[in-house]
Each structure stands twice: as C-alpha cells, then as structure tokens.
Amino acid sequence: MRLILPVGLIATTLAIAPVRFDREKLFRVKPQDKKQADIIKDLAKTNELDFWYPGATHHVAANMTVDFRVSEKESQAIQSALDQNKMHYDILIHDLQQEIEKQFDVKEDIPGRHSYAKYNNWEKIVAWTEKMMDKHPEMVSRIKIGSTVEDNPLYVLKIGKKKGRRKAIFMDCGIHAREWVSPAFCQWFVYQATKTYRRNKIMTKLLDRMNFYILPVFNVDGYIWSWTKNRMWRKNRSKNQNSKCIGTDLNRNFNASWDSIPNTNDPCADNYRGSAPESEKETKAVTDFIRSHLNEIKAYITFHSYSQMLLFPYGYTSKLPPNHEDLAKVAKIGTDVLSTRYETRYIYGPIESTIYPTSGSSLDWAYDLGIKHTFAFELRDKGKFGFLLPESRIKPTCRETMLAVKFISKYILKHTP
C-alpha cells in the first residue's frame, strides 16, 4: 500500500533547515590501554559522539587512533572527562561549520563547464554523465542499473570499446554519503580515461583490451542529503520499520557474514546493517548487475575516505584469503606507485587487521562471489580535514590514486584468466 502524505507534511519535510555545525569539534584520542578505550565507549553512551574513525563505538580499542565529533554543548564535558582520566587528546577541528565552508576553496574556471577540481552535486554529476556519452559515443555508454528509495536513478558508465566480450573492472564511489572526495575520483577516472585514450600508452592499451564499469555515486539519496540537509550524513535514506531513525549503511548490507559483527543492528546507528542482506534497493541493484556480469568482471575496486589505506579481504574474519600473497603484492606495489607523485604514504593489508573488523561489506561480498581481486581505497587524508578535504586537494588526490588504479588494471589485464 502506498502512503499518501498530506500536502502540508510534504511541505514541512522539504522545508527542513540544513543542519549547522557551529563550534562543533573533532577530537583525536589515542587510548593507551583497555581502560582508556572503555572510557571513550562510556562517554559515547552518555554523549552524542559521531565517530569518524573508527566508524563505530564498538571498534574502539587500545592503541587505536580515534576521531570523533562533539557538539559545542558537550565538548566541555568531554574535555573535562579526558583531562580527569589523564588521556592525551588533540582537537583537530575547532569549528566544524567553518571547515565545511572552507572546503569550497577552488573558484569555478568557466561557469557551466564541469569542474574536476570542485565537488559536484548530484544534478551536475547526472548532466556530466550525459556530456561524457555525447562527447565519446564510441567509448562511453550509460546503463541504468536500478533506482534508489527516493527514485533517483543509479547510473553505471561503461568505458571501453562497445563490441566484443573482454575483461572488465567494476569500480564504485560514494557508498557513504559524506565521503565527497570518492565520487570526485570516479569522475576524474572517466575524464582521464577518455581524454588520454590514444595519447597515453598505458590507458590506450587498457581501453583497447578491457572495459570499466564505473558507478560514480552508489548512495545517491544520501549524497543529495549531505549536500542539502546534513553534510555529515553517511547512510542511505530508507525508512526503517518500527523506528523513527532513517537509513542503512550500504557497506554493511551485503551478504558477506552479514550479521556476524555485534552492534550493527541499531537503526539509529551510522553503521546499521539493514533488516536483511541486500534489503536496500541500491545494494540489490549493484549485486544484480555484478552477478549478471560475473564472467567478465575480474576485479572490484571501491573508493572511500579517509585514512590513506589500500585494503583487501577479509573484514569479517582474521582468516587470510587463499590468494593473500597475490593481493598483498598488488597492494604493496599499488601504494608504492601512488606515493611517487606527492610522497603520500598509504598503508595496506586485510580490512580486519588494518582498519577494524566489518561484516556485510561490498569488498568481502565481491571476493566471496568469485572476483579474486577486490580492493578498497581509503583516500586522503589522515585526519587533519577528515571528510572535509578542501577542493584544492581533489586533483592531487585523484592524480596519485590514478597511478595506483592504472597499475592494478594492468596487473588484472596480464595476470587474470
């Protein structure tokens, strides 16, 4: 049955004022032992802490760098509690609203032209997908793989020669709404691939022999919401039964040991796994598409931010995958290549031991499905700006990441059956 909202209620929904973050702070704490880790967990029970790293309270452990956002109202109490317990901390951001506004530090070159040095909203990204098809009809096609809860289209761009079956790589960006540098990279990749074809030897070889399926924004509704209403939004925008809280963490919604990690079953939490594996329209559209192209997809790469890591399976177990050595080798060379441009240092390894244990991730799901080269990039930075990376850092981030992605692609072309 369709729920018909009264006109007044619809108007109210549309008129929700954007959330402001005046004088909110980002704390960084490194608990020295279990006792200090438990203090942070206790503070999270009595205060509204938004964990930027790790993604949720239950991941907090001794000797881990922990970043969390605190409201102006609660920041004094948090500081007092940390001081009282002799816990060392830094305040990385003193006024979050100021940092949000300072993100947009690049002027538009030519009004109306798509800018790869700026963050682009969903409307601009849709227009850009059309422009790329029109400009490169022989190489770019757009596939609608499904739609979101709010009926926005999910578009995949296929880059490569139209005819003939060949190896392919699937890449997605923006599974978490607030990680804006991620969709910026997917746009950059498509732009560079099409622009440098026949000019750059490696890109020409890759596009002559492979296809790339690019999902520029996975979590479209959440991305729109992060632009219009709440810059810190992470989940999608689906309604949850018997809860006033909105949204599912799409990267906990895949059928890969979906319910094995505790504390992902609270609809109000940022890492809520959903009511069932693939319960979300976005997840279902992506899994259906990948399953239907499984005979050609040889690698899966997903882009997140922040923390400068290159991750591979597993997240839900400490057990290493059978081709662990191969994955580690590719990740090591990939991070080495990435660092050649600006000396940006990445670490690499399995999700579980490198970042923290996760269940229901797209990376593990793709690997278990049979795609034996699956990687997740956690892009810049290491916490100075966190999710609020200024636009002036977009191009350097994309340029260095492009080097690693090209290396992985060459490796896939050469070494997969």
Question: What is the rounded average pLDDT of the residues 291-316?
Answer: 97
Those residues whose C-beta lies under 8 Å from the C-beta of residue 57, and which sit 6 or more positions away, are 40, 41, 44, 49, 51, 263
Q: Which region among 100-109, 194-203, 303-312 has the lowest average model confidence (pLDDT)?
A: 100-109
Question: Which range among 15-19, 162-166, 184-188, 356-360 shows the weakest confidence by mean pLDDT?
Answer: 162-166
pLDDT band at 10, cuts 50/70/90?
A: very low
What is residue 56's predicted lDDT score, i.e. its pLDDT?
A: 87
Determine the average pLDDT of the residues in 9-13.
43
The most confident of the ranges 8-22, 109-123, 288-302 is: 288-302
Taken as a whole, the chain contains a residue count of: 417
Greater confidence, 14 or 292?
Answer: 292
Q: One of 99, 352, 378, 391 is an active-site residue; which one? A: 378
Please write the tens of the pLDDT for every residue from 378-415.
Answer: 999 999 999 999 999 999 999 999 999 999 999 999 99
Asked whether residue 103 carries a pLDDT value surpassing 60, the answer given is yes
Q: Are 41 and 107 in contact (CB under 8 A)?
A: no
- Establish whether 378 is a catalytic residue: yes
| Cα distance between residue 393 and residue 383, in whole Å | 13
Q: Which residues contact 129 (CB under 8 A, 6 or more apart)?
A: 142, 155, 157, 216
**Number of Cβ atoms within 10 Å of the Cβ of 56:** 20
Q: Which of 347, 346, 355, 276 is nearest to 314 (CA)?
A: 355
Question: Is residue 60 over pLDDT 50?
Answer: yes
Percent of the chain residues topping a pLDDT of 90 = 89
pLDDT band of residue 263 (cuts 50, 70, 90) is confident
Q: What is the pLDDT of residues 331-379, one digit of tens each?
A: 999 999 999 999 999 999 999 999 999 999 999 999 999 999 999 999 9
| Residue 4: band (very low, low, confident or very high) from pLDDT cuts 50, 70, 90 | very low
Residues of the chain above pLDDT 70, percent: 96
Two structure tokens written together for 43 = 């503070």
The whole-number average pLDDT for the span 67-96 is 96
CA–CA dist 213, 246 (Å, integer): 30
Extended beta strands in 77-206, E state: 89-93, 140-147, 153-159, 167-173
Closest CA to 216 of 179, 249, 164: 179
DSSP-derived letter for residue 57 is G
What per-residue confidence (pLDDT) applies to 15?
64
Closest CA to 68 of 88, 46, 89, 38: 89
Q: How far apart (Å, rounded) are the C-alpha atoms in residues 273 and 365? A: 14
Output the pTM of the full model.
0.94
| One-letter amino acid of 72 | E
